[in-house]
Amino acid sequence: VYQVRSREDGQRYAVKESHARFRGWRDRDQRLEEVAKHEQLPPHPHCLRFVKAWEEDFRLYIQTELCASSLSSYAEKHHDIPEQVVWNYLVDLLQGLKHLHDRDLIHLDVKPDNIFISDDGLCKLGDFGLTVGLRTSDNQKEPIEGDPRYLAPELMQGQFTKAADVFSLGITILELACDLDLPSGGTHWHALRSGTLPREIGSNLSRELRRMIEWMMQPDPQIRPTVDIILAQRSVLKVLRVRRLYVAYRHMINCTKRFFLLLWLALCSWLLVVATWCRSAPGLRRPKRLKKSPSTTFDTLDFSEDEVFENSTISKCSDGIRDRFFDTSSSSNGSHKNDGITPSSSTPKPSPKMKSFRGSLPGPMRSTPWSSSPHNKSASPGRKNRLDDTEWSDIEPRNLLRVFEAAGSSECDS
């Protein structure tokens, strides 16, 4: 048996693989009968739910619902099972057998390996490979391949009745309640089928449960009770009422979980649609933010260099300013060269915008004389054409523009 996850719905399932390949067409038809029985059996809370089946590489694969464990695995892990749990499992399996017997079907292989416990704690009948119908007489001629530890004594004589399932269920409950290792033959096998349990077996059981097990294990199938008679007993009815309430409660919980899951999926889908519509709607688009570009302090002003110095040529005046501060044309004989540059006869006039800008400049800063500047110490002592300290002391931030205007005026006058 494999645990798989379906690609269709994402749920986990159990896939049972046949032990051997088909030995022929007859063997294949017999195994396909199990699939047909699964398909004919309506769903029931205490019967393993069938999903689908297929053939692959001459093997049969049956997909069913996934349960937490089998009853045999549960009994191996828990050697001291409470009696109330035993009663609950007995009532669950009785309801599953009733579902089969009402449709004239006999399981013929009731044992802990074919009983499964779901995540909700419910017992379910499974593995309907040996199930036969009372309306068909051909199947009764075939030999029984079930486990001899759980077989009813009449099956050895070829008698196929519904009471055989009741006996197998009774000895299964005995094994679960007393933690027994059932024999597959011999004296002890016949002792368990004598109609009375040995004294050393079941001494820790209550009187009601012990009498119920002995009644279900009667060797005569005519004396053995049916499923309907057992379910009508007072001790069983008490457990049955509580069990039905538990099943209804678990069903309500599962439906609530599915409802909120579907509600959450619907809400997520609605939010996705709304978000997509908001992006596509032109009136709900957010305005794009403009990227800030690096700017200077003069970017906010509405004038340019051409507007500040109107009707003037900066290139002509700049040579005069350069000759004012640095004697770049001096030679060995002390003469000056004009290099063919004729100064302009006009004095640059500041524009009205420049005058307004000049008034918005900050006040004069406290200047440091050149002589006391720390850069004076690092200056080269042999540098020529250096200004005097008195000239540099008069240069302050508010007088820079006047110095440039005076230099340009004197150059132009000369």
409, 347 Cβ separation under 8 angstroms = yes
145, 76 Cβ separation under 8 angstroms = no
Question: What kind of fold does domain 67-265 have according to CATH?
Answer: Transferase(Phosphotransferase); domain 1 (1.10.510)
pLDDT score at 10: 80
Domain chopping of the chain, boundaries: 1-66, 67-265
Which residues are 62's β-sheet partners? 16, 53
109, 154 Cβ separation under 8 angstroms = no
Question: What kind of fold does domain 1-66 have according to CATH?
Answer: Phosphorylase Kinase; domain 1 (3.30.200)
Residue 261 makes CB contacts below 8 A (sequence gap 6+) with none
Question: Can you give the pLDDT of all 414 residues of the chain as single tens digits?
Answer: 888 888 888 888 888 888 778 888 887 887 787 788 778 888 898 999 988 888 888 888 888 998 989 999 999 998 889 999 999 999 999 999 999 999 989 998 999 999 999 988 899 998 887 788 776 544 454 556 678 899 999 888 888 889 999 999 999 999 999 988 898 888 888 889 888 888 888 788 899 999 999 999 999 999 999 999 999 999 999 999 998 888 888 888 888 988 888 899 899 988 888 888 887 766 655 555 655 555 544 444 444 444 444 444 444 444 554 554 444 444 444 444 444 444 444 455 555 545 554 455 455 544 444 444 444 444 444 444 454 545 554 555 555 666 667 666 665 555
Active site residue 109: yes
The DSSP-derived string for 301-365 is SS--HHHHEET--HHHHHHHHHHHH--TT--TT-----TTPPPPSS--EE-HHHHHHHHTSPPPP
pLDDT score at 85: 94
Catalytic residue among 9, 27, 109, 127: 109
